[in-house]
Structure 1
Amino acid sequence: MNTAFSTWTATRAAGLARLDAFLPHAGRAYAARRNHAVDAPTVSGLSPYLRRRMVTERKVLTRVLARHDETAAEKFIDEVFWRAHFKGRLEGQPEIWTRYRQSLAQDRAALDRDPALARRYADAVAGRTGIDAFDAWVAELEATGYLHNHARMWFASIWSHTLGLPWALGAAFMHARLLDGDPAANT
């Protein structure tokens, strides 16, 4: 479980302090370990601050590039730009959000019509699927408002493919709980 988010403080000062703590790890260490260590210093912990604009992408990149050369920080820079890409995509194609909301309404209505679907959904959101990793991720998400990037992908895969649940219900479940839940990144 990632403990960095269990005491998340929603202030610009806290975001800048998190950035300062992460800066030494934003270069090659980030590229080497970002996918492996859930509670390591190579997990930036900046996404809730970026999501709420307490810290901007420009501020983050300026500080990272003041500490690391572009080659060393390339992977982290890529991730910041992916975030901006999806935000721009949603701004340029707002129908993406409209289609998601329509899918969500249809999927919620299906819960009323399909008792088996409703049971699978209730078990999933309660962390009672019997799939240990998935159930632990539900507990972590509820406790901290955070899941590591890879856990989010595995969660979504199990949600859709193993449990057979509609993706829009999973996106809504995650979005409502994630400290960094972002319409551009979560739909």
Structure 2
Amino acid sequence: MSNSAKDLLAAAAVERIEGTRDTYVPYLRQVFADVVGEDEAVSETRGGLAAAQERLAKIQPLRYGQSRNFLAGAVTGLSAYLRHGVISLAAVRDRLREVVAHPHEAEALLQQLAWRDYWQRLYARWGDRLWQDIEPYKTGWQATDYATDLPPALVAAETGLACMDAFSRDLQETGYLHNHARLWLAAYVVHWCRVRWQAGAAWFLQHLLDGDPASNNLSWQWVASTFSHKPYFFNRQNLERYSAGQYCRRCAMGDRCPFDATYEELEVRLFPHKA
């Protein structure tokens, strides 16, 4: 069945079925048995224009700029709606103009909109090249030094690291991760597990409701250093600060945390051959 036929059938199904969201899920699983996911998880995120407009009405650009790096920060939650064309970048920009007295008050959020637009323009130019290393790794390792498959323990959320296991579960069960959690998880995959970024990027796209090759792949390449002048990595202090220590307090590996070191120490451990 073509994608267009599936879209028409889904629209017709929604018109015919009366009831709650719980009524739709089993029906759509049956109708689209060939395209449903490999697991039973159904995200609580609700689609549609009304849900997008509700979130758009609640954006707080000043609080966003001050807190967006914190997992509990005032993020917009608009990425999935932007990804699927429910709302546009211009609509978000126009809303920002309405709620700020001066443009600089919305600078942090406007920058993120600009990055999204930039990545989309690169995607339009490069196409599937986004799945290839744009530049060589700057880690001292060659591309052939990286494994091609994700660690099974990470996919199963059984690494023993409370933070990484939580991120893995959230990704697969909710279809969403805070951007900082995405960066931490990506850095763990590429630099601590030494797995090629393509494996992680594909994993993200399999589950993220807002996933698209442009922002997803180029962000992974930025972490890996194939689209940046240096690799991105983090330490425990950084993770604890921006997660309010919620993972470290209950981590069984707290006394042997692989992230518990200075940046200088971690750089030597992770990139011993880096010039």
Q: TM-score range by the shorter chain?
A: 0.7 to 0.9
Counterpart among 152, 159, 171 of residue 201 in structure 2: 171
| Alpha-carbon offset, residue 128 of structure 1 | 1.5
Counterpart among 53, 64, 67 of residue 85 in structure 2: 53
- 1:34 matched to 2:34: no
1:11 counterpart letter in structure 2? G
Which position in structure 1 is the counterpart of 2:180? 150
Which position in structure 1 is the counterpart of 2:268? none
- Residues 17-96 of structure 1 aligned to structure 2 (within 5 Å): 17-22=54-59, 25-26=60-61, 28-36=62-70, 38-40=71-73, 42-68=74-100, 69-96=102-129
Q: Quote the Cα distance in structure 2 between the aligned partners of 1:56 and 1:178.
A: 19
2:81 counterpart letter in structure 1? Y
Which position in structure 2 is the counterpart of 1:16? 53
Question: Residue deviations 1:106-162, cap 9 Å, x none?
Answer: xxxx9xxxxx976x6211211122222111100111221111111101100100111
2:64 counterpart letter in structure 1? Y
Q: Quote the Cα distance in structure 1 between the aligned partners of 2:180 and 2:131.
A: 27
The question of whether the paired residues in 1 share the 8 Å contact of 2:131 and 2:198 is answered with no
Q: Quote the Cα distance in structure 2 between the aligned partners of 1:96 and 1:130.
A: 35
Q: Quote the Cα distance in structure 1 between the aligned partners of 2:153 and 2:98.
A: 48
Q: Quote the Cα distance in structure 2 between the aligned partners of 1:117 and 1:177.
A: 19
Q: Quote the Cα distance in structure 2 between the aligned partners of 1:95 and 1:6.
A: 28
Question: Residue deviations 1:35-85, cap 9 Å, x none?
Answer: 11x244x11000000000101000110011111121100111111110100
| Alpha-carbon offset, residue 97 of structure 1 | 3.4
The question of whether the paired residues in 1 share the 8 Å contact of 2:49 and 2:86 is answered with yes
Higher helix residue share: 1
Counterpart among 174, 183, 187 of residue 213 in structure 2: 183
- 1:138 matched to 2:168: yes
Q: Quote the Cα distance in structure 1 between the aligned partners of 2:78 and 2:148.
A: 36
1:131 counterpart letter in structure 2? L
Give the RMSD, CA atoms, in angstroms.
Answer: 2.1
Q: Quote the Cα distance in structure 1 between the aligned partners of 2:45 and 2:167.
A: 18
**Alignment size in residue pairs:** 163
Q: Quote the Cα distance in structure 1 between the aligned partners of 2:215 and 2:45.
A: 20
| Alpha-carbon offset, residue 6 of structure 1 | 5.0
The question of whether the paired residues in 1 share the 8 Å contact of 2:93 and 2:110 is answered with yes
Structure 2 SS opposite 1:94 = helix
| Alpha-carbon offset, residue 9 of structure 1 | 1.2
Which has the higher Rg, Structure 1 or Structure 2? 2
Which position in structure 1 is the counterpart of 2:10? none
Q: Percent identity?
A: 33
Q: Quote the Cα distance in structure 2 between the aligned partners of 1:95 and 1:152.
A: 22
1:155 counterpart letter in structure 2? L
| Alpha-carbon offset, residue 164 of structure 1 | 1.8
1:174 counterpart letter in structure 2? F
TM-score by length of 2: 0.55
TM-score by length of 1: 0.80
Which position in structure 1 is the counterpart of 2:152? 122
1:59 counterpart letter in structure 2? A
Q: Which consecutive residues of structure 2, in runs of 5 or more, have no partner in the other structure?
A: 1-41, 134-143, 218-275
Which position in structure 2 is the counterpart of 1:105? none
